Amino acid sequence: MSQLKQKFNFTIIKQGPAAARLGLLQTPHGTVKTPAFIFCATRAAMKSLTTEQLRAANTQIILSNTYHLMLQPGPASVQAQGGLQKFTGWRGPMLTDSGGFQIFSLGSGNVADEIKGRRLLGQEKTLLKIDENGARFRSYVDGREYLLTPEESIRIQRGLGADLIVVLDECTPYHVDKMYTKDSMERSHRWALRSLQEYLAQDNGAQKLYGIVQGGVYPDLRQQSVAFVNDNEFFGNAVGGSLGADKQQMYDVVALTMSMLNKERPTHLLGIGGIQDLFNGVLHGIDTFDCVHPTRIARHGGALVKPWNRDENLGREHINLRNGQYKQDLEPIESDCACATCTNYTRGYIHHLLKTETSVAFTLIAQHNVFFMNDLMHRIRTAIEQDQFVELREQWACQKPKNEMVMEAELSVTN
């Protein structure tokens, strides 16, 4: 057991501008170079991609979801088949979330929109009750009732076998008031202590536990929650809960939270994956991120592109290959991308696949988007190493074509 415990370690190898940093997150199944992006293989699979394709796109670590896997196929089934490593064929660093994010979704509708302050109504809500014991809900698979407690969440995650696991929490929506946020945060703290006790009681050295900072948009609650996480023996930190109604409020909440957190631990930002959000998080010391965004937009024809490859009029981080302008386009998604999609296929061909509803289109775009995100994180790590992170951040915020950017750079050197 002691030998296995030595396989977990987090080392900061370089401090960049502000709180940005390079790190090495060592697990029994491999070492993750941070900052890094964690891709969501929610039901023990990435939609449209195999684990081999993930590796080919330079993916370091993936995430699976406790809530979905407890319902289908069940943790005992996954454990009997060798845990997530053998079950998925990944055999690399893995993280499981606790199910708390889905608890919130069951009670409040669409998760991502609610976190960002956009409430969607009319969706089926299967959460029955949240109380001190845990969350009681009805399965979307077969209608059965379940009670997910902090202890059960840890036991399930232990059976799934991920390297990094997370305490059970309630992820509060943006629209609730401060009193509800405070009560929820305090209950989540009590759940976290129960999660920690269950984890320590059966600790075999094969996993490490992250605590979660809650508190919504309220500075005093965030301060209390940071103090709670700092004061308990978690291996890592996770920043969760509502981060505000807009980008600026989210950035303010992240900055405040990170200024107080224990900086010797790896820190994860839950559910955030926009390009500028990554740069902002790294600037404040975030080490890992997760989000379904890269593969979700792929299923709608969205391909991530660098600032100089974007349509300036749209102001988005991606192009929509369903649009008619790409019907006869003989260029790859990005001519300066080395992914398997861009080196073999054109925008026009992918447009055709989308229009004919051929599913391989989603694979090709997802393959590009995963490679894109990994390449971006590699660029960020290289920039921190070379003391050029601020310059890279400014470059990626720019909406100008590449040739104009090169021209301006040349002019600045000349003058």
Q: Which of 252, 290, 336, 387 is catalytic?
A: 290
What is the reported pLDDT for 316? 85
Dump pLDDT digits (tens) for 9-32: 999 999 989 999 999 999 999 999
> What is the mean predicted confidence (pLDDT) over 313-320?
80
pLDDT at 102: 76
Average per-residue pLDDT for the chain: 89
**SS3 label, residue 162:** coil
Classify residue 377 as exposed, middle or buried by CB count within 10 Å of its CB (0-12, 13-18, 19+): buried
Q: Among 62-66, 131-135, 169-173, 238-242, which stretch is predicted with the lowest mean pLDDT? A: 169-173
Does residue 404 or residue 36 have the better pLDDT?
36
Mean pLDDT value of segment 98-111 = 67
Do 231 and 194 touch, CB atoms closer than 8 A?
A: no
Note the residue count of the chain: 415
CATH classification number, 2-291, choose in 3.90.600.10, 3.20.20.105, 1.20.1260.10, 3.90.79.10: 3.20.20.105
Helix H or strand E encompassing 351: helix 347-355
State the pLDDT confidence band at 174, using cuts at 50, 70 and 90: confident
Percentage with pLDDT > 90 across the chain: 77
DSSP 77-145: HHHHTTHHHHHHT--S-EEEE-SHHHHHHHHHS-HHHHHTT----S----EEEE-SS-EEEE-TTT--E
pLDDT, average across residues 107-122: 46
Pair 339, 57: CB distance under 8 Å: yes
Which pLDDT band, with edges at 50, 70 and 90, does 398 fall under? low
Mean pLDDT of 46-68: 96
User: At 284, is the pLDDT very low, low, confident or very high (cuts 50, 70, 90)?
Assistant: very high
Half-sphere exposure of 130 (CA within 13 A, CB side): 23
| Tokens matching residue 271 | 């559910």
Model confidence at 41, pLDDT cuts 50, 70, 90, reads very high
**pLDDT band, residue 314 (cuts 50/70/90):** low
The more confidently predicted of residues 392 and 126 is 392
Compute the distance between CA of residue 406 and CA of residue 395 in angstroms, rounded to an integer: 11
Alpha helices in 171-262, H assignment, sequence order:
178-201, 219-231, 247-260
- Our answer to whether residue 97 is catalytic in this structure is yes
For the stretch 344-396, pLDDT in tens is 999 999 999 999 999 999 999 999 999 999 999 999 999 999 999 999 999 99
The predicted-structure confidence for 187-214, as pLDDT tens digits, reads as follows 999 999 999 999 999 999 999 999 999 9
pLDDT in tens, 213-267: 999 999 999 999 999 999 999 999 999 988 988 899 999 999 999 999 999 999 9
Residue 169 annotated as catalytic: no
Print burial letters for 381-413: b (CB count within 10 Å at least 16), e (below 16).
bebbeeeebeebbebbeeeeeeeeeeeeeeeee
Local confidence band at 311 (pLDDT 50, 70, 90 cut-offs): confident
Give the pLDDT mean for 292-304: 95
Catalytic residue among 97, 163, 277, 287: 97
> Residue 1 pLDDT more than 50?
no
Which one has a higher pLDDT value, 53 or 102? Answer: 53
Q: What are phi and psi of 96, to 5 degrees?
A: -120, 140
Q: What pairs with residue 136 in β-bridges?
A: 129, 147
What pLDDT, on the 0 to 100 scale, is given for residue 106? Answer: 66
Q: In the chain, where does the domain assigned CATH 3.20.20.105 lie?
A: 2-291
Buried b (16+ CB within 10 A) or exposed e, 288-306: bbbbbbbbbbbeebbbbbb
280 sits in the region (left: phi over 0; alpha: psi -120 to 50; else beta) called: alpha
What does the pLDDT read at residue 6? Answer: 53
Per-residue pLDDT, 108: 55
